[in-house]
Structure 1
Amino acid sequence: MPFVHLHVHSRFSPQWGLHDPERLCAAVRELGMDSLALTDRNGLYGIPHFIACARTAGLKPVIGCELVHATGRALVWARGRSGYARLCQLVSARHEQADFDLARALADRNGLIVASDVPALLERLAVLDRRDLYVEVSPGHRPEAALQLARRLRLPPLASCRAVLLEPEDHLLHRVLRAIAANTTLDRLSAEACARPDDSLWPPARLAARLPHCPEALANSRQIAETCAVDWEFELQLPAPPGLAPEQAPAELKRRARAGALRRYGRIDVRIEARLQRELELIGQRGFAGYFLVVEEIARQSSRICGRGSAAASLVAYCLGITHVDPLRHNLFFERFLNEGRIDPPDIDIDFPWDERDAILDFVFARHGRDRTAMVANQIGFMGRGALREVAKVFGIPAAEIRTVTRRISGYWRGAQLLDAVREHPLFRGEKLAHEWPTIFAIAARMRHQLRHLGLHCGGVVITPGPIRSTVPVQVSAKGPAVIQWEKDQAESAGLVKIDLLGNRSLAVIRDACRAVEKNTGRHIDDADWQPLEDRATRALLCRGATMGCFYIESPATRLLLRRMFGPGREDDIHPDDLFEHLVMASSIIRPAANAYINEFIARMRGKPWRCLHPDLEPVLNETYGIAVYQEQITRMAMAMAGFDAFEG
């Protein structure tokens, strides 16, 4: 087939595109085509997701972008990996440089193919270099003028459909998004600010019929698609400790881990040595030594941190001071954190006192360089009442009427439920609403996944071994720090390693309380020797569920569960280690899906006879009274019963 759609927008074009790449790929496949480009506006916001969708649909993905700026508009496609790096740099410059000029930026087109129909832009670019430069010819967008421009500048024409829509009813949703972006109403929105009703995925035969005098414009699209066809496999981008060669990282990690083991345990016995060797060997084989060193250095910037999640199962993390729960003492399952089959790096989350986190982020940016560091994005869309409010505004509904409707709508109602709720819910009985509301509800229901803007992830930081703007586009967040254009799932699927640096108020309270104790009593509390559960009064508070203000075990349901598990006066009957492990069980089982098992769990804990479902499960489930409480127990059950290894489990 001689034609490929090279100008296509998805929902990742902020307030312009509509459909998910998955649906676009399916639509192109139905047309019998084998390639597709995604060219979202001023960003590569959905590229990892698009590549995955294209592969699933059996399409060859072409990576591109439509750069739109006051100085012009151009389509840019990446011709190979060097072109992709240059495209990321261009998009970053578009967002970060106040004096950005599109023609000046496209003067260096190494690895790129460019098309436009803006005469002034093409004239400037053609003077510099005519190679890989095309004139875009699109039905409904003055194609005759574009062909005349191509002949005048002696540049090849390129056919496109500027696809945004899939169905006729999509155009109203598109106009609503454009009106929201322009902060205007539909009746004041200009046609020039929107896509045309026919900007959709045309069948090739229809496009050929519209451009019968220019078959080369269609053929050029196929040529560009074949030139840009790359097996897009993203490589793992592990952060590296500054000033340390990669081959030196394993030895340095071993040195620090052994020093930490001596600090934690006083000596390294056979059990500690064997576990350290096993973990260090696996970390070295996977090339993660530098990553651990980077995280360890960040953790050292605060005297009070809490590394949590599956990282708590690692003895290396414990010896480095990243976590503070002894995995040997509590028999934690290391393979949940890292195993021989795992290719992606382990996930390490670190809590810092909330009022220290910004300083920690400043350290990370300064230490690793702003050219290699950025925050992970949250891709913000339109939700519930917010979507309804925005749509109603562009329909010209009075503010008072909008408030009447939205203030009665639960934040838990999804868009699809809104119309039924207003029709049937007692809160709206007797209300006479404008006739546009059914349409408003229907449009709001479709807006949940439309990209509106980027926010900052609560703590995710990405550090790359090379320039980050050659790996992913970066833009300036409203708060100030640089932020990549991908949210956490796409970032991880593209090989970026997210380090979560989170703010925790409880840690700040503990820090301040310890300072107050020292100030008022002269007693210094040493973290290395501090064992809170050795204190009888502390155990008494925990046993009677007096845990308000204690992070993770302060919810009403957890406090009630603790009272039922222990009750007053039990503080002398339970060993500190057993109390700690039962606190972990309580915080894990207090989930809605586990409600049916909580009574049985308490009964068995209080002495009710029980037996494991199978003898092979006893080593896995005995500590939790025969009931699976932890995620890692599911893995270990599969290993015990089916012979799986840790990765398969």
Structure 2
Amino acid sequence: MYLNCKTFFSYRYGTFSTEQLVAAGTDAGASSLAITNINNTADAWDFVQYCHSAGIHPVLGTEIRNGDHFCYLLLAKNNTGFLHINRFLTEHLQAKKPFPARPVMDDSVWVVYALGMAAPAQLSLNELIGVQPTEVNKLFGIDLSAYSTKFVVRQPVTFQDRTFYSVHRLLRAIDKNIVLSKQEDKHKAAIHEYFMPMTTIMEQFKQYPQIVTNTLRVMECCEIQMDFKVDKNKQAFTASKEDDRILLEKLAMDGLHYRYGSRNKQAHERMLKELKIINDLQFNAYFLIAWDVLRYARDRRFFYVGRGSGANSIVAYCLQITDVDPIQLDLYFERFLNPYRTSPPDFDIDFSWKDRDEIIDYILKRYGKDHVALLGMHTTFQRRAIVRELGKVYGLPKAEIDRLSRGEYNTNDNNHRQIIRFGDLIKDFPNHVSIHPGGMLISELPIAQYTALEMPPKGFPTTQIDMFVAENVGLFKLDILSQRGLGHIKDTIELVREHHQVDLDIHQVEKFKKDPKVAAQIRSADTIGCFYIESPSMRGVLRKLRCDDYLTLVAASSIIRPGVGSSGMMQQYIWRFHNPEKFEYLHPVMKELLEETYGVMVYQEDVIKVAHYFGGLDMGEADILRRAMSGKYRGNKEMKRLEQQFFRNCEERGHPEKVAREVWRQIESFGGYSFSKAHSASFAVESYQSLYLKTYYPVEFMVAVINNFGGFYSRELYFQQLKKAGADVQAPCVNNSEYLTDLKEGKVFVGFIHVQHLEQQFVEKLLAERVRNGAYLHLQDFIERTEVGIEQLNLLIKVGAFRFTGRTKKQLLWEGNFLQVHMEDHVPERQALFAEEPVSFELPMLPDNDREDMMKEMEMMGFPIGNVFELVDDDLGRYPLAKELPGLLGKEVLVLGYLVCTKETMTREKRELMHFGTFLDAAGDWLDTVHFPEAARKWPFQGRGFYRLKGRVIEEFGVYSVMVGEMEKVGLKPVG
């Protein structure tokens, strides 16, 4: 009877989770259920599994709607029908066109219209009319005898009960962006759309037993088959699996010679071992597809970094999928592949954000749009967003909503109580489909066999199913990611080629690792702009470890992650790194497994080793543990089972309970934040590439960082670093600047893109005219040639873009406004028969003010060209600099800093808010501060600007900072 059931994947409409729907159907006595979410099939396969577990016959379909208008149900009779439904949805969703009033479907799909929407005499064999129990009275007067097989029971199921009917109404109001009082009946479901008891339905249709029989027949004839967990990716790269094996072996052996030469026995033996396992597990095609994509990337001179567990593989290294040598790093082979593993190893391949779309387009064209799609994911309602949305639905003013979002509730206020109550119920509901950060599916059968596809703003087909459903079905993703760090590298190389005529080979990473200048750069943590190692926290770790080699950098890349950091093991690692003889291992087995990392679990591989060799879990169980740590495993039931098994095994092995519990605590603390060692090693390779460029070409490197608009810090900080590298930074100029920041004749000209409110279309016109007819001669020439409007002209004048004229900004503003008004009938110089002198002016002296100019630059670009410390209203000479702090250890100091960024965290025991501050001092050096809870409460940060900080100088592993007791913001000097 229940052939029209919805879950919360009917976004902002249904209120059941998929599991709850099946459980409620079981309680209602259903033997068969149909899932028909609105215009999507996102949780169809989860639904099938839940139904099988509950002993219920599953039917897959969808409810088609144009906005609020119900069109019809589509129910799949078999897998072919589900394919047609998904293709039908895909066609209309991607084109964003309305669904037709009557779809064209073959006999593999049932089409069910609402009562009154279609005449029985006009229906095809696969078309039906659904009658709700509340509509039975409308059947009086209809002659059913001639069309008795055309009617079925359609009891919609949208929510659980009256409470969730209220949730449904709130979701509909959120979707419509209206207050609840403005909601109309057409916006929401009817109040009876719940699991009406079977006995009630039968009672309603007791005069029409044929309709009940028809319904049962329709449901029973629908049969969906699915072999879960069986690989459904593209099965062969070449003509056959055997050809794949031969090709992969040839490519791998060629690569082995390239990477290791012809006499490395260890590498050769490992290669043969890996190739056998890859073939046995039938992953040859997966490796070849990755190789093919990267071969194309190299041909296009695209830079990339291969990461993920695949970097544990010598085959991946020899195919140039990664640049990580697994033998050099002793990477754990079972982390790569083991006989227990059913899913392929991950290849996370990073491309420049400028190149990624072309790579995706290549994969779509190479393997066919019917077989390739980006992987979807579902954004969910979370606490703060729910509060804001419900606040609007209840008609609360913005100020009150702001207070609620900060957790400031008034429990005596009925609206506040309702927001708390319903917010708890809505939390974690899917909100809409979005795009997985990089996952792509390449399937053997058409993708529509498993899911419908949408077309988000990115412009590539995207699945409605997420990663968990895809993997459960047997579709495993290839991660094609975008990263601005690679854009830095690519653009730096091009700038070096252009300005130094040097063609750099950025893949000479082994050379970079041995370069003493690069080592010194890491040791001093002069890493601003370098991928992954530029944040204040990371720079602090590098300085505390006195890091100057590759292996230490690999470890640093992992211990900075929240999993290691939050467990307290980061501090332990650093202490043990400096005191290797002063600590004891938790257990002799831990020493054997973790001697390289001083007894600290730093990598995912460490956890797998400990779980297997210390905790007795088999490799299959250890792999589940690994997936849970990396956020790739859904649900915690299996984790609870593994935890119990871990402790049973430890007891059987005689491990002390206290030791076992501490080991498990460290395993748990990794959460979803741990890295595989190969992942960290891949990051460290890219860090070395960035470091080499920054060390030898600092100006070009920082220009590239600025032009890729990515990094931890603001544009202001990167321009400050550019100046510190010795660059002569110039304000935008109409005769020298480009749209992006550029090098010209030894100077760096700020790009027009940084001038707020300056229109890109006008800048393109300005630049095109300059290319066609040469440099601008004077202000009048510029106005005539570009036909600039007064607002855009004033922006350029105020930012100093006409300083080549020799006139002050005030004079130029007066002149520009005069010319705009009085030159309407003037013939432009380039159109006149005879050269004309520009209009001349006798202007009074209107001098510029340097501080006023800097303030205007900050207003218009977000940063000044000059030294920002010239603006502070204070005597810089009275404050010690950051470089003087070592000599003031333990003493109270008063320092002045320009705020760069802050980091909030919670104290471990009392969970109180505290801050870490990062400032610049007057010399342009870093000044780090610590603000414990009392100081954080008493002296809060007040946005960007200068701060006077009073506190005690402290030190940790050679890194000095100020523990702040008092802080006040310092104003700017008055202009004049």
TM-score tier after normalising by the smaller chain length? 0.7 to 0.9
CA distance in 2, matches of 1:100, 1:26: 34
Per-residue CA deviations over 1:119-174 (Å, capped at 9, x if unaligned) read 45465862xx32x4432121224653499375564434322320112111222222
Matches within 5 A, 1:128-527: 129-130=124-125, 132-141=126-135, 144-145=138-139, 148=142, 151=145, 153-234=147-228, 235-239=230-234, 244-267=239-262, 269-300=264-295, 301-302=297-298, 303-397=302-396, 401=397, 403-408=398-403, 418=407, 421-423=408-410, 436-527=415-506
Which residue identity lines up with residue 278 of structure 2 in the other structure?
I
> Using a 3 Å threshold, how does the CA distance of structure 1 residues 628 and 149 change in structure 2: closer, same or farther?
farther
1:95 aligns with 2:113: no
CA distance in 1, matches of 2:306, 2:224: 40
Which residue identity lines up with residue 66 of structure 1 in the other structure?
E
Structure 1 or 2, whichever has the larger Rg, is 2
| Kept after mapping to 2: 8 A contact 1:136/1:146 | no
Name the stretch that deviates more: 174-183 or 287-296: 174-183
1:627 aligns with 2:627: no
What is residue 579 of structure 2 aligned with on the other side? 606
Quote how far apart the aligned CAs of 1:329 are: 0.7
TM-score by length of 1: 0.87
What is residue 629 of structure 2 aligned with on the other side? none
Residue aligned with 2:351, SS: strand
Name the stretch that deviates more: 90-99 or 162-171: 90-99
Quote how far apart the aligned CAs of 1:48 are: 2.5
Residue aligned with 2:409, SS: helix
Residue aligned with 2:5, SS: coil
What is residue 106 of structure 1 aligned with on the other side? 104
Quote how far apart the aligned CAs of 1:204 are: 0.7
What is residue 772 of structure 2 aligned with on the other side? none
Q: CA RMSD in A?
A: 2.9
Per-residue CA deviations over 1:543-575 (Å, capped at 9, x if unaligned) read 2333333323333223222222227xxx5xxxx
Which residue identity lines up with residue 232 of structure 2 in the other structure?
Q
Quote how far apart the aligned CAs of 1:19 are: 1.3
1:82 aligns with 2:77: no
What is residue 41 of structure 2 aligned with on the other side? 44
| Kept after mapping to 1: 8 A contact 2:64/2:99 | no
CA distance in 2, matches of 1:238, 1:606: 50
Per-residue CA deviations over 1:287-313 (Å, capped at 9, x if unaligned) read 211111111222231542111121210
| Kept after mapping to 1: 8 A contact 2:576/2:583 | no
- Runs (4+) of structure 1 exceeding 6 A deviation are none
Which residue identity lines up with residue 363 of structure 1 in the other structure?
Y
CA distance in 2, matches of 1:104, 1:208: 30
> Using a 3 Å threshold, how does the CA distance of structure 1 residues 206 and 589 change in structure 2: closer, same or farther?
closer
| Kept after mapping to 2: 8 A contact 1:373/1:468 | yes
CA distance in 1, matches of 2:393, 2:352: 43
Quote how far apart the aligned CAs of 1:371 are: 2.2
CA distance in 2, matches of 1:407, 1:324: 49
1:62 aligns with 2:41: no
Quote how far apart the aligned CAs of 1:213 are: 0.9
CA distance in 2, matches of 1:32, 1:386: 37
Which residue identity lines up with residue 626 of structure 1 in the other structure?
G
1:551 aligns with 2:557: no
Quote how far apart the aligned CAs of 1:355 are: 1.6
Per-residue CA deviations over 1:397-449 (Å, capped at 9, x if unaligned) read 4xxx1x20333455xx7xxxx5xx3238xxxxxxxx98534324433333333
Residue aligned with 1:6, SS: strand
Per-residue CA deviations over 1:483-513 (Å, capped at 9, x if unaligned) read 1111222222222221211111111112222
| Kept after mapping to 1: 8 A contact 2:349/2:481 | yes
Quote how far apart the aligned CAs of 1:201 are: 0.4
Q: Point out where structure 1 has 5 or more consecutive residues left out of the alignment.
A: 425-432
| Kept after mapping to 2: 8 A contact 1:173/1:443 | yes
What is residue 697 of structure 2 aligned with on the other side? none
Quote how far apart the aligned CAs of 1:623 are: 0.6
Residue aligned with 1:323, SS: coil
Q: Point out where structure 2 has 5 or more consecutive residues left out of the alignment.
A: 623-976
| Kept after mapping to 2: 8 A contact 1:382/1:452 | yes
CA distance in 2, matches of 1:582, 1:495: 34
Name the stretch that deviates more: 292-301 or 136-145: 136-145
> Using a 3 Å threshold, how does the CA distance of structure 1 residues 278 and 645 change in structure 2: closer, same or farther?
farther
| Kept after mapping to 2: 8 A contact 1:103/1:121 | no
Which residue identity lines up with residue 155 of structure 2 in the other structure?
C
Per-residue CA deviations over 1:11-67 (Å, capped at 9, x if unaligned) read 011222111011112222223434322111111011133233334444332222112
CA distance in 2, matches of 1:478, 1:50: 29
> Using a 3 Å threshold, how does the CA distance of structure 1 residues 146 and 72 change in structure 2: closer, same or farther?
farther
Name the stretch that deviates more: 171-180 or 112-121: 112-121
Query: How many residues matched?
Result: 615
CA distance in 2, matches of 1:593, 1:443: 32
CA distance in 1, matches of 2:335, 2:274: 12
Name the stretch that deviates more: 449-458 or 158-167: 449-458
What is residue 30 of structure 1 aligned with on the other side? 27
Name the stretch that deviates more: 442-451 or 277-286: 442-451
Quote how far apart the aligned CAs of 1:608 are: 3.0
| Kept after mapping to 2: 8 A contact 1:36/1:60 | yes
Residue aligned with 2:158, SS: coil
1:542 aligns with 2:522: yes
Residue aligned with 2:4, SS: coil
Residue aligned with 1:299, SS: helix
Q: Which has the higher contact order (CA 8 A, sep 6+)?
A: 1
CA distance in 2, matches of 1:78, 1:147: 32
> Using a 3 Å threshold, how does the CA distance of structure 1 residues 22 and 256 change in structure 2: closer, same or farther?
same
Which residue identity lines up with residue 67 of structure 1 in the other structure?
I
> Using a 3 Å threshold, how does the CA distance of structure 1 residues 193 and 409 change in structure 2: closer, same or farther?
closer
1:562 aligns with 2:542: yes
Name the stretch that deviates more: 203-212 or 364-373: 364-373
CA distance in 1, matches of 2:284, 2:63: 40
CA distance in 1, matches of 2:335, 2:342: 13
> Using a 3 Å threshold, how does the CA distance of structure 1 residues 147 and 244 change in structure 2: closer, same or farther?
farther
Quote how far apart the aligned CAs of 1:340 are: 0.8
Which residue identity lines up with residue 174 of structure 1 in the other structure?
H
1:10 aligns with 2:4: no
| Kept after mapping to 2: 8 A contact 1:135/1:146 | no
> Using a 3 Å threshold, how does the CA distance of structure 1 residues 154 and 51 change in structure 2: closer, same or farther?
closer
| Kept after mapping to 2: 8 A contact 1:7/1:37 | yes
Which residue identity lines up with residue 158 of structure 2 in the other structure?
V
Which residue identity lines up with residue 277 of structure 2 in the other structure?
L
> Using a 3 Å threshold, how does the CA distance of structure 1 residues 372 and 176 change in structure 2: closer, same or farther?
same
> Using a 3 Å threshold, how does the CA distance of structure 1 residues 449 and 640 change in structure 2: closer, same or farther?
closer
CA distance in 2, matches of 1:147, 1:251: 73
What is residue 706 of structure 2 aligned with on the other side? none
